[in-house]
Amino acid sequence: GHRWLRPLCINFVMCFVLMPGLALALAWAIGASREQLAGMVLLASVNGGQASNLCCLIAGADVPLSILMTVSTTFGGIVLTPLLLKTLLGAVIRVDSWGILRSTVQVVLFPVLMGVVSKAVVPRLCDAMKPGIPVLGILVSIFVVGA
């Protein structure tokens, strides 16, 4: 609940203010073209995604918080990334909101739901599989990225 509010706010500021601002400053410093500048700002405002959640699992960090950060910045990015590009560069980009929603459900929410249900239905099996889950996560990530 409340213990996640501050990290979520920091994550939003980093994702949609600091990172694009640094990209903008770096692009100006190196004399990037308008297209390069747009690409750098766009790339800087994209959140960590599924791989960051896997890294949190492997590192023993707060995985639910990581998932919440991923989902919140993904959904926030539907509005904020085009707004950033319009504000900073005057560029308009089209965002496939339904595609982003579908992808987030498939890559983040569905696997989490499967894990929660599995843990409730077959807890001993889940506990026995726990040591191999990071390797399985890496293999699934490779498959998803390759598809």
pLDDT at 147: 59
Model confidence pLDDT, tens digit, residues 31-65: 998 888 888 887 887 766 667 778 888 888 888 88
Structure tokens at 1: 């609940």
Model confidence pLDDT, tens digit, residues 73-103: 888 888 888 888 788 777 777 777 788 778 7
Using the structure block, give the residue that is written with the tokens 């089209």.
94
Cα distance between residue 42 and residue 24, in whole Å: 10
Using the structure block, give the residue that is written with the tokens 């405002």.
45
Cα distance between residue 41 and residue 83, in whole Å: 12
Structure tokens at 141: 């990530």
For the entire predicted model, the pTM comes to 0.69
pLDDT at 48: 67
DSSP string, 89-118: H-------HHHHHHHHIIIIIHHHHHHHHH
A 10 A CB-CB count for 29 gives 8
